[in-house]
Amino acid sequence: MNPAPRLAALTAVALAVAGGVYWWLGRTPAPAPAPAPVAVAPPPAPASAPPAIRHPVEALAAASAPGAPATLNDSLTSLLGRKAVLSYLQTDDFPRRVVATVDNLGRSHAAPALWPVNPVPGRFTVRAKGDAMVVDADNAGRYTAFVQLVESVDAREAVAMYAAHYAQFQRAYEDLGYPGRYFNDRLVDVIDELLATPTAGAMPEVVLTEVKGPVAPARPWVRYEYADPKVESLTAGQKMLLRTGPVNQKRLKAKLAEFRRELTAAR
């Protein structure tokens, strides 16, 4: 074959292919633009870490005497004696009562229905002093038996018992509405508040709260408040200490300080 016609044929084929490609490209829609980058939300901020434990109980629990009674009620009986437990304590749901009362002692009100101890017998009395009413000094006698019981407790044994059963108190504290919080830290803080209770030089003045409504309460003695706003603004636990009288307050503070030393001791 003559090279010239063959070259012409190949050129024609190449032009045809090129033309076909050009025609196809002209009919093909332009590629879609790349999608705009999607904004990625930043990861949620990590939840705030629980506060560091300041007064861990583990070391105290390690120091507990081996062979201690298995249940909390048995431990209380071993520590206080059966008669004292029956006379002074509300043992049903004891851990919940303890943590609720400890927490409330550091607040403005501590409901007696939640106390782990029975209220002292008798009723609160006042006496006239000039034109004012003051707490009757005889009220202190209502607390004498309880103060003597508290003083008789071996602080180290009590703290060892508490540490051995601490998981129950911690669980009750979290169920109370404080997940991630450490009950023993709260206990030490409340003890510190009680130790800071001002000592009254004389029995404080009180006033009856105003009754809003047509029916007065059947027990007016529960309506007394401290006349001094500074005293009335103290925590529930501090006002209870004041109510026991100066001598009992001093004795209870001494025992509280002893318990605090044991609670925070490094074993």
**3 state SS for 150-179:** HHHCCHHHHHHHHHHCHHHHHHHHHHCCCC
Q: What pLDDT score was predicted for residue 183?
A: 97
Task: Tell me which of 7-11, 102-106, 138-142, 234-238 is least confident.
Answer: 7-11
Q: What pLDDT score was predicted for residue 34?
A: 53
Q: What pLDDT score was predicted for residue 35?
A: 52
DSSP 208: E
**Sequence-distant (≥ 6) Cβ neighbours of residue 189 within 8 angstroms:** 106
* C-alpha to C-alpha distance for 252 and 152, rounded to whole angstroms: 11
Q: Compute the average pLDDT of residues 154-179.
A: 95
133: helix, strand or coil: strand
Phi, psi of 141 (to 5 degrees): -65, -25
265 has pLDDT over 80? yes
* C-alpha to C-alpha distance for 166 and 264, rounded to whole angstroms: 14
Contact 171, 95 (CB under 8 A): yes
* C-alpha to C-alpha distance for 210 and 251, rounded to whole angstroms: 34
Q: What percent of the chain has pLDDT over 90?
A: 60
Contact 98, 110 (CB under 8 A): no
Contact 134, 203 (CB under 8 A): yes
For residues 27 and 192, the model is more confident at 192
**Sequence-distant (≥ 6) Cβ neighbours of residue 39 within 8 angstroms:** none
180 has pLDDT over 70? yes
224 has pLDDT over 50? yes
Task: Indicate the pLDDT class of residue 16, thresholds 50, 70 and 90.
Answer: very low
187 has pLDDT over 50? yes
Phi, psi of 259 (to 5 degrees): -60, -40
200 has pLDDT over 80? no
245 has pLDDT over 50? yes
Q: Compute the average pLDDT of residues 243-255.
A: 94
* C-alpha to C-alpha distance for 141 and 138, rounded to whole angstroms: 6
Q: Closest by alpha carbon to 242, among 124, 156, 68, 163?
A: 124
* C-alpha to C-alpha distance for 67 and 106, rounded to whole angstroms: 35
Task: Indicate the pLDDT class of residue 29, thresholds 50, 70 and 90.
Answer: very low
Annotated domain spans of the chain: 58-209+221-263
